[in-house]
Amino acid sequence: MFDYRSMFDLTGKTALVVGAGSGIGEASAQGLAAFGAEVYAADVNAEAAEATADGIMENGGKAIAIGLDMLDSKSVAAVAEGIGTPDVLVSTPSVNVRKPVLEITDEEFDRIVDLNLKGTFRLVRQFGRGMAERGSGSIIAFSSIRAQVVEPGQGVYAATKSGTVQMLRALAAELGPSGVRVNAIAPGVVETPLTAQIKDSPDWYGSYAEKSILGRWAQPHEMVGMVVYLASEAASYVTGGFMLVDGGWTAADGRFTPPL
């Protein structure tokens, strides 16, 4: 009989988590380590990565802190040279500039695209090659509900998140024959440094909470279940996926409950 209890076990696996210094990346690193993976906690902020790695080790896990800049192909290549090809790659960092499309400057456009889309590209290009050569691996990158639904001020950010999904789907098709799985996770509203601006505005924060079916924001640790699932053998037949973890945000129509 198949050992179902082992499906989520990551013992003996290595996982590179980029953006591990805070938010969803930090929680993902902790979660993967809790299920047995040896985690490379990578972040452009090396001190933050160190803090995450220290926290994992204090709880009995295995972790190594790494400085990595997704904006620099040489930095990504240097990490690959140093650690080899991990079994799991998780990419979480994003940046947003909340402005109408007609007011976005060239510099702001480039800044959003260079991290959110091209940064993800740099990672999957570098580590996807090694996974394909080895014949196994799981690539997980964070998109957003903004890949499907938008609002004023989210145009360029939404474009990068939609672009990430389509890029990963193409990569899934290309690497599937080599045994590598590629999936995107789409969170709803999560309390992270990226959304601090909204949390500081009670009306804005409350409106977002009410939009989800569950009536609240998510915490970073609530993304970890999907990360562990996609990293593990439990998702051995899952690739090219767009996995919504949004509290029902995209399932419900509008922000008004009709009298029934």
Q: Which two tokens stand for residue 211?
A: 């939009």
**Residues ≥6 apart with Cβ < 8 Å to 218:** 187, 188, 189, 190, 191, 245, 247
CB 227 within 8 A of CB 188: no
* Number of helical H runs and strand E runs in the chain: 9, 7
Backbone angles phi, psi at 138, to 5 degrees: -130, 120
CB atoms within 10 A of CB 150: 15
CB 41 within 8 A of CB 29: yes
Catalytic residues: 157
Rounded-to-integer distance, Cα 193 and Cα 179, Å: 35
Q: Which residues pair with 199 in a beta bridge?
A: none
CA dihedral 96, 97, 100, 101 (to 10 degrees): -70
User: CA angle at residue 30 from 188 to 170, to 5 degrees?
Assistant: 55
The half-sphere exposure of 176 on its side-chain side, counting CA atoms within 13 A, is 13
